[in-house]
Amino acid sequence: MPIPQLRDNPDYYSQKKDLVNTKDKFPSYKLIHSQVLQDCIKRVKLAIERWFKADKSGHKLGRPRFKKTSRYRSFTYPQIKLDCIEGNKINLPKIGKVKLIQHRPIPEGFIIKTVTISRKADGYYVTLSLEYKSVPALTSEVEPTLKNTLGIDMGLKEFLVTSEGESVPIPQYYRKSQQRLKTLHKRLSRKKKGSRRWLKAVNAVAK
């Protein structure tokens, strides 16, 4: 039997081009924004590259694992409209306007570049990546002096102490919630794995 010519291995660009055929075969993919799908392919590309290439210390990461829909916890819009936030709502392509609790206002002159939606145990979070084009370029002409230099000392008793004598205490969020976490773990160990009460206890521990 004659051996046919081997096809080129699929890469990031060939899979991006093939998204049109994917949408024809799986109509549900049309409900997802095209740039979100392209970002998923980019994530696979980066995961494969990390598997084959070692980092600076020579350490290689493990083989990428297939993620089911239940394990896929975030997606990213690489580009979004500048006026996507209107009052207490954010306008997400293919999803629509979603109610938003804004952590702090966006400073003047900053532009929203990317938006990442992440699913946590206590709800969904929106992470905005901002760009400020008016940042001056760093030059070596500035000489360090006592007026333009600030020293920070990280310690065990205090979170940090500045050269001006200002100290910030350690929050110790984990230690404050350790006793509560111990109780929730005990409740989880008594539940039957896979049951509704077990899932409820898992969610409580995650929160």
- Rounded to whole angstroms, the Cα distance separating 119 from 75 reads 9
- What confidence tier does 147 reach under pLDDT thresholds 50, 70, 90? confident
For residues 135 and 18, the model is more confident at: 18
Q: What is the average per-residue pLDDT within 111-133?
A: 92
State how beta strands 89-92 and 110-120 pair.
unpaired
For residues 189 and 172, the model is more confident at: 189
Q: Round the CA-based radius of gyration of the chain to a whole number and report it.
A: 24
Is residue 55 pLDDT above 80, yes or no? no
- What confidence tier does 6 reach under pLDDT thresholds 50, 70, 90? low
- What confidence tier does 4 reach under pLDDT thresholds 50, 70, 90? low
Quick one: DSSP state of residue 179? Answer: H
Q: What is the average per-residue pLDDT within 43-61?
A: 84
Share of the chain above pLDDT 70, in %: 95
Task: Give residue-wise pLDDT tens across range 149-159.
Answer: 878 887 778 88
How do the domains of the chain map onto residue ranges? 10-69, 73-134, 174-206
Is residue 161 pLDDT above 90, yes or no? no
Task: Give residue-wise pLDDT tens across range 191-204.
Answer: 999 999 999 999 99
Q: If you search the block for the tokens 């999803």, which residue do you land on?
A: 95
Q: What is the average per-residue pLDDT within 109-113?
A: 90
Residues with Cβ within 8 Å of 32's Cβ and at least 6 positions away in sequence, in order, are 94
Q: Where are the beta strands (DSSP E) in the chain?
A: 74-77, 85-86, 89-92, 96-99, 110-120, 123-132, 152-154, 160-162, 167-168
Q: In this predicted structure, which of 21-30, 48-57, 132-141, 169-178 has the lowest mean pLDDT?
A: 132-141
Which of 13, 67, 16 has its CA nearest to residue 37? 16
What integer pLDDT is reported at residue 192 of this predicted model?
A: 95
- What confidence tier does 31 reach under pLDDT thresholds 50, 70, 90? very high
Q: What is the average per-residue pLDDT within 34-48?
A: 91
- Rounded to whole angstroms, the Cα distance separating 12 from 16 reads 6
For residues 11 and 130, the model is more confident at: 130
Quick one: DSSP state of residue 29? Answer: G
For residues 155 and 90, the model is more confident at: 90
